[in-house]
């Protein structure tokens, strides 16, 4: 049965949930749980409530409920309000919200798939925003229990999530392997230390080269800290605007540090310094509109992709990374009680040893590379390193983290050029599972020597890599690149089509209800039909730079 009114019912449910959320904001932690309170409507009833930690939730259950429910965990939401006009992505401004999100982005086609096939959906807005892995996992455990109590015919619980919701989902599966039957962590965030290092390196590089007045950490508590963070965002976006305007000339922003101005005087273009920052942090050199391959017809056909396009890609990617770095750093400092980003021991020359060869031309050659790395050396007082508070770092280390253990059918999907949750975060899980599967295989062989009956271990991981087109940068009649078209597949953050999401959802349902993945070429065929998805077992994404220093 298809439900034509799914979208309007879904929007109505979220609008009602907003009222719940408004009340919940002031609710003390560990209050009495509320609900679920259901409206008993058909063909789909909506249930609302609140877990004991004050997190609002929504359940949507069709009248022909077949016993399968999908729990969705939303991604990172900023933990402070942002004024209108500051971020191009949210021109109307941003208000902190804990509105529940039971399907990715409120996508009605996804809701229709589940509800129209007799399955329920649910999700929480969580009790706090920002980095909330520990609290979110606890909320989800309680939410699953509440659903089973309200709907005792429940047979299968599926869990999926995006970005921060991806690592919430993976952690839930690791810590509570009997609670859910299959999971799908999408565009999954890495553990907080790795994510913070990548984002922090971008912010530190921008501060060090282009505007030393950026605070970049050690934010004050309360409203003062909020103002400092917002001020940093404005400064970063101003720097990036200047870099964009001067991409061709290579002129440095007026706010550049003495170190930056010295490099400019030495003939180093600002775009090369920006690219170096991106390479140090591990940002992709493909972005929404720049493939680092294409050039306009004419004189720049070869020189544009060689010297300009990688910097433009880093420009697009670093905007998202730096804003996240500011807000996540402020949030985590408040949670940990002090500065948590530290690069006092980071060897940036080693970080870019390989990539500086690949992007030598875009970095303006060996002389410029040496000059920039010398400027970033800890011995240069003009490039002071960031030092963390040891007690805060220790407290940060006590937060939940994933090990990569796969306990059940698991589907992962990530863009190969995602700048916020890099594909390397998924690759870490792939590597951990390869080790796990080998150990299971060795154990099965040892057991078979005694029983004479070999039982092959079940393969429990499927990874969909969202790939970029071979070439996608476009140019206008003057040869200028066009950056107003939709983001290319495989780029941006969690940039999946409805077909991509449906491919994951359908495989999640199949694996969760049968306990295994389909055999043969069914999964590869589904990936091809979905568009821009690959299950290439030989593809390998680079790990986040953090892991190269452990």
Return the percentage of the chain with pLDDT > 90, whole number: 86
End-to-end CA distance of the chain: 53
Assign 27 a pLDDT band (cuts: 50, 70, 90): very low
pLDDT of residue 519: 87
pLDDT tens digit string along 468-503?
999 999 999 999 999 999 999 999 999 999 999 999
User: Which tens digits make up the pLDDT trace of 303-326?
Assistant: 999 999 999 999 999 988 888 889
Beta-bridge partners for 184: 160
pTM above 0.85, yes or no: yes
User: What is the arithmetic mean of pLDDT over 527-534?
Assistant: 95
Question: What φ, ψ does residue 475 adopt, rounded to 5°?
Answer: -135, 150
From residue 423, alpha-carbon distances to 47, 476, 538 in Å are 36, 31, 14
Q: What is the pLDDT of residue 365?
A: 96
Confidence of residue 549 (pLDDT cuts 50, 70, 90): low
Question: How does DSSP classify residue 475?
Answer: B
Give residues with Cβ within 8 angstroms of 311, minimum separation 6: 247, 271, 272, 274, 275, 362
Give the mean pLDDT of the chain: 91
What value does the mean pLDDT take over residues 188-196?
94
* Percent of the chain whose pLDDT exceeds 70: 94
Task: Compute the residue count for the chain.
Answer: 550
- Between strands 410-415 and 182-186, the pairing is parallel
Question: In Å, how far from its chain's centre is CA 286?
Answer: 16
Q: In the predicted model, what is the mean pLDDT of residues 251-261?
A: 97
- What's the pLDDT at 90? 80
Higher per-residue confidence, 47 vs 324: 47
Chain position carrying tokens 């929007």:
11
Q: Where are the alpha helices (DSSP H) in 376-453?
A: 390-396, 423-451
């Amino acid at each position: 049965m298809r439900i034509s009114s799914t979208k309007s019912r879904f929007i109505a449910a979220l609008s009602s949930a907003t009222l719940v959320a408004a009340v919940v904001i002031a609710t003390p932690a560990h209050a009495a749980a509320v609900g679920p309170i259901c409206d008993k409507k058909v063909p789909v009833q909506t249930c609302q409530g609140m877990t004991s930690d004050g997190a609002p939730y929504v359940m949507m259950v069709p009248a022909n409920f077949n016993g399968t429910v999908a729990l969705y965990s939303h991604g990172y939401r900023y933990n402070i309000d942002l004024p209108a006009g500051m971020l191009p992505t949210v021109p109307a401004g941003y208000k902190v919200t804990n509105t529940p999100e039971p399907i990715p982005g409120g996508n009605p086609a996804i809701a229709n798939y589940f509800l129209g096939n007799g399955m329920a959906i649910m999700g929480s807005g969580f009790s706090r925003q920002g980095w909330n892995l520990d609290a979110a996992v606890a909320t989800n455990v309680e939410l699953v229990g509440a659903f089973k109590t309200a709907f005792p015919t429940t047979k299968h619980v599926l869990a999926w999530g995006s970005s921060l919701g991806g690592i919430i989902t993976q952690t839930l599966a690791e810590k509570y392997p009997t609670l859910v039957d299959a999971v799908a962590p999408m565009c999954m965030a890495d553990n907080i230390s790795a994510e913070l290092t990548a984002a922090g390196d971008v912010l530190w590089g921008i501060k060090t080269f282009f505007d030393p007045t950026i605070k970049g950490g050690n934010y004050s508590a309360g409203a003062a800290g909020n103002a400092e963070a917002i001020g940093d965002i404005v400064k970063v976006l101003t720097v990036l605007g200047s870099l964009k305007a001067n991409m061709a000339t290579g002129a440095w922003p007026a706010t550049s540090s003495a170190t930056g101005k010295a490099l400019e005087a030495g003939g180093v273009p600002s775009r090369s310094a920006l690219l170096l920052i991106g390479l140090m942090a591990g940002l992709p050199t493909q972005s929404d509109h720049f493939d680092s391959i294409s050039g306009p017809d004419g004189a720049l056909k070869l020189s544009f992709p060689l010297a300009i396009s990688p910097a433009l890609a880093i420009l697009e990617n670093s905007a998202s990374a730096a804003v996240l770095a500011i807000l996540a750093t402020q949030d985590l400092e408040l949670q940990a009680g002090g500065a948590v980003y530290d690069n006092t021991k980071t060897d940036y020359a080693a970080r870019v040893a390989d990539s500086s060869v690949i992007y030598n031309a875009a970095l303006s050659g060996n002389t410029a590379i040496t000059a920039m790395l010398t400027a970033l050396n800890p011995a240069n007082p003009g490039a002071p390193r960031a030092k963390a508070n040891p007690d805060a770092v220790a407290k940060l280390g006590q937060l939940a983290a994933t090990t990569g253990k796969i306990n059940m059918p698991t589907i992962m999907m990530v863009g190969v050029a995602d700048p916020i949750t890099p594909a390397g975060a998924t690759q870490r899980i792939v590597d951990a599972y390869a080790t796990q599967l080998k150990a299971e295989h060795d154990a099965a062989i040892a057991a078979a020597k005694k029983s004479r009956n070999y039982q092959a271990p079940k393969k429990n991981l499927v990874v969909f890599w969202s790939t970029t087109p071979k070439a996608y940068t476009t140019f206008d009649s003057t040869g200028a690149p066009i950056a107003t078209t939709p983001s290319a597949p495989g780029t941006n953050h969690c940039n999946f089509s409805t077909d991509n999401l449906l491919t994951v959802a359908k495989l999640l349902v199949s694996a969760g209800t049968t306990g295994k993945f389909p055999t043969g070429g069914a999964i590869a065929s589904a990936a091809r039909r979905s568009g821009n998805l690959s299950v290439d077992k030989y593809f390998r994404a680079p790990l986040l730079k953090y892991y190269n220093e452990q």
